[in-house]
Amino acid sequence: MTKSATIRHRAWALARLAKPSLFPAFIAAAVVFTGGYFFEQQNRENFRNELKSNVQNELNLVSTRLQSEINNNITALRGFANNFSVDPNIAQSLFDQLATKLLIQNPQMVRVSAAPNAVIRMTFPLKGNERMIGTDFKKFRSSRVAIDRAESKAKPILAGPVRLPSGRTGFNLFSPVFTRIDNSLVFWGFMEGVIDEREIYANAGLIDDGKHHDEVDGGHRHTNIQLAIRDISVKTSVQDAFFGDTDLFEKSPVIRQLHLPGGTWELAAIPADGWAQEPANSTWLEITILVAAAIIIIPIFLTGGLVNERQRNIATLRSRERELLTVSHRLNLALESSKIGIWEIDLDTQERSWDERMYHLHGLPPGGGVPSYAEWRSTVHHDDIGAASLTLFKALDEDLEYRSQYRVVMSDDSVRHVRNAGSTHVGADGKAKITGISWDVTDDVMMTAQLANGQSRC
């Protein structure tokens, strides 16, 4: 048989074995994979909910830190402005002294200016900001809107970000100053503080500057996020993001609004790797589903095949049993009509087994138990005992075919000639045995003797 033919034969045998179990195996596979699919979808949903919750927590933390930084600067500038509320005519030297202390205590603030009637009269540090002296905030639209709101609300206003003379960007913080004249509060002007944009982002943890916020965050587990911030103070004119990418607001972000003096910022955050992430346990979950499917389906597959094979074997055995019964019946009819007896001798124990016809052939009543050697010997004619026994023992000892003929003396003293033939074999129980047949040849012997007598007379 060629290799391809062998493969085809084995494939055909496997297909025949598997065919009956295909339907239950398919049902089991459908159930397992359907359950696995819904479990995997639930796992993804749980992962995305957890991811969204982590982004929300991180955004809340960033928002809180950012607001805290801004509030600290507002408080500091308010305290500085109170000096002008008490004495609007502070000298330049005292202004420089107070401003130096303010900037040292608040390193995010890079410039502070006193602007009576919104026109800068003093600024610190002066170096690099000389051209700011005499600047009228009312001449610039962005600052004019901020100072008008600060004056009308009598509260500090944050505006920006704006480009600074140094080339960097920052936020303008305007704190209105009111002084008392004749027991009446009179608007004096503004204290302007400029907050460095990068510094406030760094302190709030929006950008990585190597600083750690573990103590502030109380051991919070950080989630990497993409962040964008825009000003939505004017609902009809929402500006582009001044921090991060404006497109982030179109990517189903987590939103948080930060209400600040003078306006509202909108913060948007998504995971650093986006929302289309797979759970870390996704691969293991898929492997688990496949293993579970294999554990369930393969036994069904094999069991179905084995059960079907067993049924085929049972059907084959029943068919053979029917055939054997038919053959046995035919053999019994043949043996009955020919008067042939069947016998068997165990070579180890010398135990005999006769059928009913053997008892009739030897003139013994059937059903008397297992015939012994002595019982057999008692039925044989005394002149034939020696030769019959010798032939039998020689066949038993030398594993030869057994052929003999002897006379049997019946109970009525009549003589019957019995011929025997047998051969050795190994039985179903693994024991060596000799099995044979015996039949009555008395008529043949008598006929032969008559023919011999007739010929001698002639």
DSSP string, 298-344: HHHHHHHHHHHHHHHHHHHHHHHHHHHHHHHHHHHHHHHHHT-EEEE
The alpha-carbon radius of gyration of the chain (Å, integer) is 58
Q: What count of other Cβ atoms lies within 10 Å of the Cβ of residue 40?
A: 17
Spatial separation of the C-alpha atoms in residues 300 and 319, rounded to whole Å:
28
User: pLDDT > 90: what percent of the chain?
Assistant: 12
Tell me if 12-208+223-272+281-302 shares its fold with 339-457: yes
* Nearest of 81, 358, 59 to residue 226 by alpha carbon: 59
Question: Which tokens sit at 39?
Answer: 């479990």
Spatial separation of the C-alpha atoms in residues 137 and 190, rounded to whole Å:
10
Answer whether residue 218 shows pLDDT above 50. Answer: no
Residue whose pair of structure tokens reads 């003379």 in the numeric block: 165
Spatial separation of the C-alpha atoms in residues 76 and 351, rounded to whole Å:
121
DSSP state of 233: S
Element (H, E) at 188: strand 184-196
Cross-sheet strand order for the sheet of 254-260: 225-231, 263-271, 254-260
The average pLDDT across 284-288 equals: 80
In the chain, where are the structural domains located? Answer: 12-208+223-272+281-302, 339-457
Cross-sheet strand order for the sheet of 169-181: 122-124, 109-116, 184-196, 169-181, 157-163
Contact 436, 343 (CB under 8 A): yes
Answer whether residue 212 shows pLDDT above 50. Answer: no
The average pLDDT across 429-456 equals: 86
The average pLDDT across 133-149 equals: 80
The average pLDDT across 269-279 equals: 86
Weakest-pLDDT range from 26-30, 45-49, 76-80: 26-30
Spatial separation of the C-alpha atoms in residues 97 and 86, rounded to whole Å:
16
The CA–CA distances, whole Å, from 446 to 167, 337, 415 equal 145, 20, 11
Weakest-pLDDT range from 120-124, 196-200, 333-337, 422-426: 333-337
Spatial separation of the C-alpha atoms in residues 288 and 97, rounded to whole Å:
71
Contact 119, 136 (CB under 8 A): yes
Single-letter amino acid, residue 141: R
Q: Given pLDDT bands bounded at 50, 70 and 90, which one contains residue 127?
A: confident
Give the CATH fold of the 339-457 domain.
Beta-Lactamase (3.30.450)
Question: Which tokens sit at 377?
Answer: 């010997």
Spatial separation of the C-alpha atoms in residues 211 and 132, rounded to whole Å:
33
Spatial separation of the C-alpha atoms in residues 212 and 318, rounded to whole Å:
84
* Nearest of 155, 93, 147, 142 to residue 115 by alpha carbon: 147
pLDDT, tens digit, for every residue of 247-272? 999 988 999 998 887 778 899 999 98
Residue 262 CB-density burial (10 A; 0-12 exposed, 13-18 middle, 19+ buried): buried
Note the CATH number of domain 12-208+223-272+281-302: 3.30.450.350
The CA–CA distances, whole Å, from 303 to 2, 20, 160, 213, 312 equal 31, 10, 76, 62, 14
Q: Given pLDDT bands bounded at 50, 70 and 90, which one contains residue 9?
A: low
Q: Given pLDDT bands bounded at 50, 70 and 90, which one contains residue 457?
A: confident
The average pLDDT across 7-22 equals: 58
Length of the chain: 458
Spatial separation of the C-alpha atoms in residues 352 and 375, rounded to whole Å:
11
- pLDDT value at residue 5: 67
The average pLDDT across 279-297 equals: 78
Single-letter amino acid, residue 241: A
Contact 127, 137 (CB under 8 A): no
Q: What mean pLDDT, rounded, does the chain reach? A: 82
Q: Tell me the torsion sign for CA atoms 236, 241, 246, 252.
A: negative
Q: Given pLDDT bands bounded at 50, 70 and 90, which one contains residue 420?
A: very high
Spatial separation of the C-alpha atoms in residues 265 and 62, rounded to whole Å:
13
* Nearest of 110, 115, 89 to residue 100 by alpha carbon: 110
